[in-house]
C-alpha cells in the first residue's frame, strides 16, 4: 500500500501564523508599501499552490504572487514568507556580497520573526542544486520525529514539462506521481541528485525540497519520492535512468 507523504513541521510552519508576516523582530509594523505581499491573502494563495505541488511531486505549478523588490528571487521570498514564522529558523547557504549575511535572509527574517541558524539545525535552508555537501548536512529528523527534518529551497533558472525548458530531465516516482513522469530543471547537477537519493534513503526521515525558478514556477520533491537523471540512449529515443 502506498504511503502518502505527510508535510513536516518545517515544511508548513509559517501557515500557522497567517497575518503575522508584517511584524519584524522588533515588533513594529512595516509600512504596507514596503511589504508588497499581503500577509493574509497572498500567504494563503501561495500556501495552496505549495500544498498542491507537494501532493503532486514533480509537477510544475505557478506561484500566484511574488514579493516585489525582494533580493535574489522575488518568488523564493514569497515561499519563505509563507513557510516561516517566529518559531522557525532559516539558513541561506548562498554567497553574500558582504561576506556576513545574505540580504534574502535579512529580508525574510525581519518580516517573519524567523531566526538565523546553522544549516545543520535550521528548519528551512536555501541552497543551490550543485551543493551536495550542504544538502547532505541538513537535519533529516528521526524515526520517532521525522517532522523535524529540514526543508530545502533551491533557486533554479527554469523549470518545465512536456519538452519545454532547459537543464536536466529528471524522472520522479513515488506516491502521487504518474508512472514515467519527468520534468526539466536547470542549475541542477547530477551529483546533487545522487546525494539527494542518499538523503531520503531512510524515509520517513529525510529532507523535503522546493525548486523555484525566476518566473515563479515551483516543483516539490517530498522525501517520499525517488529522483533520477534521464539520459538518452544512442538511438536518441529510449531514455535510461541514472541515479
Quick check: is 9 in a domain? no
Confidence of residue 40 (pLDDT cuts 50, 70, 90): confident
Q: Report the C-alpha gap between 176 and 4 in whole angstroms.
A: 8
Quick check: is 188 in a domain? yes
- C-alpha count within 13 angstroms, C-beta hemisphere, residue 163: 0
Higher pLDDT, residue 40 or 3: 40
Quick check: is 8 in a domain? no
Q: What is the CATH number of the domain that holds 120?
A: 3.40.50.11310
| pLDDT score of 69 more than 60 | yes
Domain with 85 in it = 40-221
Name every residue whose Cβ is closer than 8 Å to that of residue 31 and which is 6 or more positions away in sequence: none
User: What pLDDT does residue 235 have?
Assistant: 40
Secondary structure class of 111 (helix, strand, coil): helix
User: What pLDDT does residue 233 have?
Assistant: 37
User: How does the average pLDDT of the chain come out, rounded?
Assistant: 84
Across residues 86-113, what is the average pLDDT? 86
Q: Which three cell numbers stand for residue 170?
A: 529528471
User: What pLDDT does residue 28 have?
Assistant: 42
* Other beta carbons less than 10 A from residue 113's beta carbon: 20
Query: What confidence tens digit (pLDDT) does each residue in 182-225 have?
Result: 999 999 999 999 999 999 999 999 999 999 999 999 999 999 99
Amino acid at each position: 500500500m502506498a504511503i502518502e507523504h505527510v508535510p513536516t513541521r518545517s515544511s508548513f510552519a509559517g501557515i500557522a501564523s497567517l497575518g503575522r508576516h508584517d511584524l519584524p523582530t522588533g515588533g513594529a509594523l512595516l509600512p504596507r508599501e514596503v511589504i508588497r505581499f499581503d500577509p493574509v491573502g497572498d500567504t494563503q494563495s501561495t500556501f495552496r499552490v505549495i500544498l498542491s505541488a507537494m501532493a503532486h511531486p514533480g509537477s510544475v505549478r505557478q506561484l500566484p504572487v511574488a514579493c516585489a523588490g525582494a533580493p535574489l528571487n522575488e518568488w523564493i521570498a514569497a515561499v519563505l514568507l509563507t513557510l516561516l514564522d517566529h518559531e522557525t529558523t532559516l539558513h541561506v547557504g548562498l554567497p553574500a556580497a558582504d561576506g556576513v549575511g545574505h540580504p534574502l535572509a535579512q529580508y525574510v527574517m525581519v518580516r517573519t520573526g524567523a531566526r538565523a541558524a546553522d544549516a545543520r539545525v535550521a528548519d528551512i535552508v536555501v541552497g543551490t542544486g550543485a551543493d551536495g555537501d550542504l544538502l547532505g548536512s541538513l537535519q533529516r529528523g528521526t524515526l520517532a520525529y521525522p517532522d523535524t527534518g529540514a526543508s530545502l529551497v533551491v533557486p533554479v533558472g527554469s523549470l518545465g514539462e512536456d519538452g519545454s525548458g532547459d537543464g536536466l530531465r529528471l524522472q520522479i516516482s513515488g506516491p502521487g506521481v504518474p508512472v514515467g513522469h519527468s520534468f526539466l530543471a536547470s542549475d541542477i547537477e547530477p551529483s546533487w541528485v545522487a546525494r539527494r537519493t542518499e538523503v531520503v534513503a531512510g524515509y520517513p526521515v529525510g529532507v523535503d525540497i522546493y525548486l523555484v525558478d525566476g518566473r515563479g514556477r515551483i516543483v516539490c520533491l517530498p522525501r517520499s519520492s525517488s529522483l533520477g537523471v534521464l539520459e538518452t540512449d544512442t538511438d536518441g529515443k529510449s531514455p535510461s535512468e541514472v541515479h
